[in-house]
Structure 1
Amino acid sequence: MGSKSKKRMVLASRPEPPTVDQILADISRAVDDDPVFSILDGSAAERAAPPADSPVEVLAAQCWRHLEVNQRLQEAGGLLRLQTEQLQAVGDRLHRDLEEVKGQSG
């Protein structure tokens, strides 16, 4: 038969949420090394950061340096392209001026 013939199970009602006083009492009874409250110590970065001399920390520092150097190289490449274009424009103008001077003298 279909699901219409099944009786619905009555669920128990939800308990009332704790009061502020009950929450504070529960927190005050927690031990210092309670894992639930240990995440509140320090920032997320401090909790996730490995020890300063760990291989992970060394590799992370190398990665950051690589990214910084790569960014500086890209900026330098853009500057070099701009300067190359400027030099080519100046060289073209110099050649035109030389041709003009040769035409005037001869």
Structure 2
Amino acid sequence: MSSKAKRVLPTRPEPPTVEQILADVRGTRPSDPVFVLAAEPRQGGGNDGIPLPDFPVPEKHEDATDERERLYRQSRSYVEMNQRLQESCLLLKEKCEELRQAGATLEQDILEMRQKAF
């Protein structure tokens, strides 16, 4: 029987503090790929001469407004559905408690009937 040595992994480093994150963000260039919107048109190729992929570009200001309106309606729908679900949850809890009480009453009535019968 062979035993394998347990591998000890190094401990994880502490996550960065808010100050460290902010300092890192402040130290980046505006052209950093993380801050470039995917919808912005890109000119030419990358630094290595390889052409960059084409990304969809919003055609008009109305498209952005329509998108915001769609997202707003979707958010409202979500909030309304969430409220209905919460109300339904409360109603179900009430009905469940009523059923428990009815079950307890039924159990009590059955016990009384058995006592009377015997």
Q: What is the DSSP-based 3-state SS (H/G/I as helix, E as strand, rest coil) of the residue aligned with 1:58? A: helix
1:84 maps to what in 2? 96
Q: After TM superposition, give the deviation of residue 54 of structure 1 in Å.
A: 1.2
2:74 maps to what in 1? 62
Letter in 1 for 2:78: H
1:23 maps to what in 2? none
Q: What is the DSSP-based 3-state SS (H/G/I as helix, E as strand, rest coil) of the residue aligned with 2:84? A: helix
2:48 maps to what in 1? none
Q: After TM superposition, give the deviation of residue 74 of structure 1 in Å.
A: 0.1
Letter in 2 for 1:80: L
Question: Which structure has the larger Rg over C-alpha atoms?
Answer: 1
Deviating 4+ runs (over 4 angstroms): 50-53
Instruction: Give TM-score, length-normalised by structure 2.
Output: 0.45
User: In the aligned structure 2, how far is the partner of 1:90 from the partner of 1:70?
Assistant: 30
Q: After TM superposition, give the deviation of residue 51 of structure 1 in Å.
A: 5.1
Gaps of 5+ in 2: 1-60
1:44 maps to what in 2? none
Q: After TM superposition, give the deviation of residue 94 of structure 1 in Å.
A: 0.2
Greater relative contact order (Cα < 8 A, sep 6+): 2
Letter in 2 for 1:76: S
1:45 maps to what in 2? none
Gaps of 5+ in 1: 1-49
2:84 maps to what in 1? 72
User: In the aligned structure 2, how far is the partner of 1:87 from the partner of 1:60?
Assistant: 40
User: In the aligned structure 2, how far is the partner of 1:74 from the partner of 1:97?
Assistant: 35
Q: What is the DSSP-based 3-state SS (H/G/I as helix, E as strand, rest coil) of the residue aligned with 2:104? A: helix
Residues 75 and 51 of structure 1: CA distance in aligned 2, closer, same or farther (over 3 Å): farther
User: In the aligned structure 1, how far is the partner of 2:66 from the partner of 2:89?
Assistant: 35
Instruction: Give TM-score, length-normalised by structure 1.
Output: 0.50
